[in-house]
């Protein structure tokens, strides 16, 4: 009986774990969080705990053997930490072999290890975990193991893991590394976290059965750093490409964005340049805040290009980037025996720099530099929009605020690409004082104008080079005190000029006093007084040369000053009128906002001899004379000649309408809500002119008109403007077909109020469908990628918008004489639409009705191939005729995995 009872007690753990006191937990019906204590994983049954009497001399050999075995297992099963687990269905503990079986949505946590699977077993003797999924009735695998340790995660078909050695074997594994996934038939995890893979695949496709992958029999994965492979080949739609690469290297440290290495080039052939390699270079992440790319192009017929680009970004401190390119391109061939008739050798260069640095809340430094020669933009740039560029502008500035002043110092550059001229301001300083009201504390009736009196002041200083040919720009800039030889094509001679003669320097002081006066409560009368003073370091003197019968201009160095001032007073008010349609059930009311304005301005004649700013010079041998401005070439201008006493007047109108909403007539309408809908009929309709009392002719200024409105719920914008000249055209004789403006009113000549000399109207509208789905910024939002999209919006395609369209129509009319008017009429349209959720077509085109030709036209077809992207871009006609077909992986990690075919407009014969 004793033997039978002891045997039952020994077998008891095999039937139920819920009765074992040494296991912390609950029954299987309510098992949600069980913790296994370290000292209770091996329940023992020692002789002292047996049920036999104390004086019994007989020992059960089975119980003694079991006790020894359990003591050995306990010594081997010490864990570093507690093992926490949950199971949905049931758990069974084999206390003798120390194996725990868990079933149904199992989750096991141990230190930084987190495992979920449908079935899990833990061998506490060897500290080994085994997990797998199970097949449902349809044969689909459910509850496949998902293993997480730190930042690593593996999906698997089945796996085993040793808690002590931190080694593991995973079958059917998949893990994400950067922008791609690594798949493995069998993977072995090493204690250092590296993984050796047999039958490995690397892909950026997130499908269970990827569209493509790079296959290798052997792979080594170093998480967070790189994937290294043996011989590999590309497989697309399960078809292996018959090209084998001896080894592969895939960086996966996308979080730090520090991937150094060679940039693979594009290759191809062009008829006039030969075979080429484009974009071959090296990328280097210098540190966490700065990178650098050096690349270039080479052509077998002699052309080459070299580029350097860098970006830097220190958050909350400064950011920017710079680039430089120098290129020599050879079109056609030239040998000792033969020279291509279209042979050309072109040199081009470009330099850009962008920088932004808020030093503190009141101090800022910024730069936006864009320098280039015209040949680069016309023939060498890869950006087709550069051909349309007429000017390049650059600026480097520093600003500092200290109340009430703001100081800014800048270097400015302006380049006329078509005329090959350069303007440079080196430097320009600007000191501005904000408006001060020194008498704001003055109180009293009739003294409101004094309390509102405000004073402003500004100082500007500059050193400027103007309209310098870019071929002599750098010699003048580098050596301002030297001389430069310039060829004069008119006289076929070379002339020598002092470099200092190309510079214009000066200082300008500006101050103003302004205030407002209220008349009759509703009329506002602003008063303004402006004063300017010019400081120059040379002036002009004109002398008549009797021998040559010409006027010579002499530069007279030395400090000199000039000044001018003007006064103006204006009056304006706002009047309202209402038009109510009493018979309308909708309660339609139209409001007319009428804004008249009138003003008077006075500008003295500063050419008068009493001011001393103008001189007198003889013009011919008969002794005739004229007045000339001593400061006519001043960088800030000079006091004007001729008195002006102008009366300016104008009217502005705004029309609005309101009517009752349809819902307001319903019985359940909420009376607390506003029942009216308000719309703008006309945003602006204005007419302005002036009359100069001091002028001896043409006292009345042309009438300028403008109008602006929107229609169809602000979908269509309409802008119009024009000018009417009240004076007629006169003709000198019968053969004069051009005519000129004469001091006679058109009304007196033809009975019309004036001549329409300028008119313009434009229509702008845009339509788009609603987004098919809304996307929120994910936790893994990539700020760098987001910035790249913002910087290249023209290349970004939003598949979530099914279609969009933008249309612009512009008509301009100009007629200043009796000749036929000049009419410019253009239509421009662009947009995109989706044929299907995966097909997108974009277009941009237009028509010039005057030239009767289609303007620059481009079409693009983009196909979303899930993990791939196909695009076809074409400019079918015109000077930039070109096309490009590309199919490429969307991931930036494998961006060089692409196939392109293109014909660039730069590669065509010169036009």
Lowest-pLDDT choice from 412-421, 528-537, 815-824: 412-421
Residue 744 has a pLDDT of 92
Helix (H), strand (E), coil (C) string for 326-351: EEEEEECCECCCCECCCCEEEEEEEE
The pair of three-digit structure tokens given for residue 713, joined into one six-digit string: 């719920």
Q: Which of 706, 741, 714 is nearest to 727 (CA)?
A: 741
Reply yes or no: is the peptide bond before residue 427 cis, omega within 30 of 0: yes
**How many beta carbons lie within 10 A of that of residue 373, not counting itself?**
19
- Counting every residue, how long is the chain? 911
Residue 257 has a pLDDT of 52
Helix (H), strand (E), coil (C) string for 219-278: EEEECCCEEEECCEEEEECCEEEEEEECCEEEECCCCCCCCCEEECCEEEEECCCEEEEE
Whether the Cβ atoms of residue 62 and residue 45 lie closer than 8 Å to each other? no
What's the rounded Cα separation, in Å, for the pair 452 and 63?
Answer: 107
Residue-wise pLDDT for 792-851, tens only, equals: 544 455 556 688 889 999 999 999 888 889 999 999 999 888 888 888 888 899 999 988
Regarding beta strands 625-629 and 34-36, do their DSSP bridges make them parallel or antiparallel, or are they unpaired? unpaired
Residue 71 has a pLDDT of 57
Which residue pairs, CB below 8 angstroms and at least 24 apart, start in 878-882?
A: 878/854, 879/387, 879/905, 879/911, 880/384, 880/387, 880/856, 880/905, 881/905, 881/908, 882/384, 882/908
Residue 14 has a pLDDT of 34
**Residue with the larger pLDDT of the pair 54 and 895:** 895
What's the rounded Cα separation, in Å, for the pair 710 and 719?
Answer: 9
Q: What share of the chain in percent tops pLDDT 70?
A: 82
Residue 670: phi and psi, rounded to 5, are -80, 115
The b-or-e profile of 681-720 (16+ CB within 10 A means b, else e) is ebbbbbbbbbebeebeeebebbbbbbbbbbeeeeeebbbb
Provide the β-strand partners of residue 307.
295, 325
Answer whether residue 726 shows pLDDT above 90.
yes
- Distances from the Cα of 776 to the Cα of 326, 773, 781, 792, 797, angstroms: 43, 10, 10, 21, 17
**How many beta carbons lie within 10 A of that of residue 164, not counting itself?**
12
Region label for 521, one of left (φ > 0), alpha (ψ between -120 and 50) or beta (otherwise): left
**Residue with the larger pLDDT of the pair 22 and 651:** 651
User: Mean per-residue pLDDT for 585-592?
Assistant: 86
Mean residue pLDDT of the chain comes to 81
DSSP state for residue 79 in the 8-state scheme: -
Residue 786: phi and psi, rounded to 5, are -65, -40
What's the rounded Cα separation, in Å, for the pair 812 and 30?
Answer: 83
- Distances from the Cα of 351 to the Cα of 46, 309, 486, 765, 821, angstroms: 87, 10, 26, 37, 43
**Residue with the larger pLDDT of the pair 777 and 575:** 575
Residue-wise pLDDT for 180-190, tens only, equals: 888 888 989 88
Provide the β-strand partners of residue 515.
527
What's the rounded Cα separation, in Å, for the pair 424 and 464?
Answer: 6
Residue 20 has a pLDDT of 30
| CB proximity list for 143: less than 8 A, separation 6 or greater | 105, 116, 117, 118, 119, 133, 134
Answer whether residue 887 shows pLDDT above 50.
yes
Half-sphere exposure of 44 (CA within 13 A, CB side): 17
User: Mean per-residue pLDDT for 380-397?
Assistant: 78
Answer whether residue 907 shows pLDDT above 50.
yes
**Residue with the larger pLDDT of the pair 152 and 906:** 152
DSSP state for residue 120 in the 8-state scheme: E
Answer whether residue 491 shows pLDDT above 60.
yes
pLDDT band at 152 (very low <50, low <70, confident <90, very high): confident
Residue 10 has a pLDDT of 39
What's the rounded Cα separation, in Å, for the pair 268 and 266?
Answer: 7
| CB proximity list for 447: less than 8 A, separation 6 or greater | none
Residue 27 has a pLDDT of 33
**How many beta carbons lie within 10 A of that of residue 389, not counting itself?**
17
Answer whether residue 707 shows pLDDT above 90.
yes
Regarding beta strands 644-660 and 676-692, do their DSSP bridges make them parallel or antiparallel, or are they unpaired? antiparallel
Taking the CA atoms of residue 234, residue 238, residue 239 and residue 245 in that order, the dihedral angle to the nearest 10 degrees is: 20
DSSP state for residue 906 in the 8-state scheme: G
Residue-wise pLDDT for 40-69, tens only, equals: 333 333 333 333 333 444 556 656 655 655
**Residue with the larger pLDDT of the pair 883 and 407:** 407
User: Mean per-residue pLDDT for 406-424?
Assistant: 85
Residue 115, burial from CB neighbour count under 10 angstroms (0-12, 13-18, 19+) = buried
Residue 637, burial from CB neighbour count under 10 angstroms (0-12, 13-18, 19+) = middle
What's the rounded Cα separation, in Å, for the pair 39 and 79?
Answer: 10
Q: Which residue has the tokens 């660039």?
A: 904
The pair of three-digit structure tokens given for residue 398, joined into one six-digit string: 């520093």
**Residue with the larger pLDDT of the pair 757 and 374:** 757
Lowest-pLDDT choice from 42-46, 365-369, 768-772: 42-46
| CB proximity list for 721: less than 8 A, separation 6 or greater | 704, 705, 706, 707, 758, 759, 760, 761
Q: What share of the chain in percent tops pLDDT 90?
A: 30
Residue-wise pLDDT for 303-322, tens only, equals: 899 999 999 999 889 999 99
């Amino acid at each position: 009986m004793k033997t039978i009872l002891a045997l039952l007690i020994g077998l008891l753990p095999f039937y139920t774990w819920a009765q074992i006191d040494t296991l912390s937990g609950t029954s299987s019906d309510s098992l949600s969080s069980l913790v296994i204590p370290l000292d209770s994983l091996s329940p023992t049954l020692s002789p002292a705990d047996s049920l036999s009497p104390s004086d019994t001399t007989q020992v059960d050999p089975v119980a003694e053997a079991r006790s020894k075995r359990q003591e050995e297992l306990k010594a081997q099963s010490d864990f570093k930490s507690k093992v926490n687990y949950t199971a949905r269905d049931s758990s069974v503990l084999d206390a003798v072999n120390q194996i725990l079986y868990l079933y149904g949505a199992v989750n096991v946590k141990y230190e930084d290890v987190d495992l979920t699977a449908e079935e899990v077993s833990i061998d506490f003797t060897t500290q080994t975990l085994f997990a797998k999924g199970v097949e449902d009735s349809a044969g689909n695998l459910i509850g496949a193991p998902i293993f997480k340790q730190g930042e690593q995660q593996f999906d698997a078909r089945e796996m085993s893991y040793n808690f002590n050695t931190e080694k593991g074997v995973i079958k059917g594994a998949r893990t994400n590394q950067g922008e791609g996934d690594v798949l493995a038939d069998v993977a072995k995890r090493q204690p250092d976290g590296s993984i050796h893979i047999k039958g490995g695949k690397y892909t950026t496709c997130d499908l269970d059965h990827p569209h493509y992958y790079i296959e290798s029999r052997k792979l080594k994965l170093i998480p967070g750093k790189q994937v290294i492979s043996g011989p590999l080949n590309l497989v697309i739609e399960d078809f292996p490409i018959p090209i084998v690469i001896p080894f592969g290297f895939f960086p996966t440290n996308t979080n730090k964005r520090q991937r150094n290495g060679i940039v693979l080039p594009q290759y191809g052939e062009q008829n006039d340049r030969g075979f080429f390699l484009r974009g071959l270079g090296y990328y280097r992440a210098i540190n966490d805040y700065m990178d650098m790319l050096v690349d270039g192009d080479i052509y077998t017929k002699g052309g080459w290009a070299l580029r350097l680009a860098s970006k830097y970004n220190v958050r909350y401190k400064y950011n920017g980037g710079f680039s430089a390119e120098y290129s020599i391109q050879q079109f056609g061939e030239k040998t000792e025996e033969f020279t291509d008739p279209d042979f050309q050798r072109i040199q081009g260069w470009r330099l850009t720099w962008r920088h932004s640095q808020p030093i503190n809340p009141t101090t800022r430094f910024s730069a936006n530099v864009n320098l280039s020669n015209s040949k680069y933009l016309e023939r060498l740039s890869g950006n087709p929009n550069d051909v349309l560029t007429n000017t390049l502008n650059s600026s480097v500035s520093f600003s500092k605020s200290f109340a009430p002043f703001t100081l800014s110092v800048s270097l400015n550059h302006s380049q006329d690409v078509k005329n090959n001229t350069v303007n440079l301001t080196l430097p320009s300083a600007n000191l501005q004082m904000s408006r001060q009201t020194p008498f704001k504390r003055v109180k009293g009736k009739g003294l409101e104008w004094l309390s509102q009196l405000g004073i402003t002041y500004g100082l500007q200083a500059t050193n400027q080079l103007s309209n310098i040919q870019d071929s002599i720009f750098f010699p003048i800039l580098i050596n301002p005190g030297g001389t430069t030889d310039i060829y004069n094509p008119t006289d076929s001679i070379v002339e020598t000029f002092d470099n200092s003669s190309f510079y214009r320097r000066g200082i300008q002081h500006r101050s103003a006093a302004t205030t407002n006066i209220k008349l009759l409560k509703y009329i506002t009368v602003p008063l303004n007084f402006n004063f300017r003073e010019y400081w120059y370091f040379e002036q002009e003197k004109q002398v008549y040369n009797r021998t040559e019968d010409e006027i010579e201009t002499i530069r007279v160095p030395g400090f000199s000053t000039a000044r001018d001032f003007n006064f103006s007073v204006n009056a304006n008010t706002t009047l309202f009128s209402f038009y109510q349609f009493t018979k309308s059930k909708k309660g339609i009311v139209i409001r007319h906002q009428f804004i008249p304005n009138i003003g008077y301005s006075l500008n003295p004649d500063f050419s008068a001899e009493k001011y001393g700013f103008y001189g007198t010079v003889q013009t011919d041998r008969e002794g005739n004379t004229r007045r000339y401005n001593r400061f006519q070439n001043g960088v800030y201008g000079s006091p004007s000649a001729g008195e002006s006493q102008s009366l300016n007047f104008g009217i502005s109108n705004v029309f609005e309408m309101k009517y009752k909403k349809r819902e307001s007539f319903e019985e359940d309408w909420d009376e607390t809500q506003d029942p009216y809908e308000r719309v703008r009929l006309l945003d602006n309709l204005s007419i302005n002119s002036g009359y100069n009392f001091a002028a001896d002719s043409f006292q009345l200024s042309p009438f300028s008109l403008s109008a602006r409105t929107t229609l169809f719920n602000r979908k269509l914008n309409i802008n119009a403007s024009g000018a009417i000249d009240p004076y007629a055209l006169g003709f000198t004789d019968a053969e004069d077909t051009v005519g000129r403006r004469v001091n006679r009113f058109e009304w007196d000549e033809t009975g019309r109020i004036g001549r329409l000399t300028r008119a313009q109207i434009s229509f702008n509208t845009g339509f788009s469908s609603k987004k098919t789905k809304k996307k929120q910024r994910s936790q893994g939002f990539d700020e760098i990628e987001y910035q790249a999209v913002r910087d290249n919006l023209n290349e970004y395609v939003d598949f979530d918008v099914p279609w969009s369209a933008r249309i612009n129509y512009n008509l301009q009319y100009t007629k200043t004489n009796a000749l036929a008017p000049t009419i410019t009429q253009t239509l421009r349209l662009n947009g995109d639409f989706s044929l299907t959720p995966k097909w997108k077509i974009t277009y941009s085109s237009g028509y010039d009705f005057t030239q009767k030709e289609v303007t620059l036209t481009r079409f693009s077809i983009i196909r979303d191939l899930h993990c791939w992207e196909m695009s076809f871009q074409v400019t079918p006609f015109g000077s930039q005729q070109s096309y490009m077909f590309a199919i490429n992986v969307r991931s930036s990690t494998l961006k060089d995995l692409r196939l392109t075919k293109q014909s660039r407009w730069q590669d065509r014969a010169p036009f």
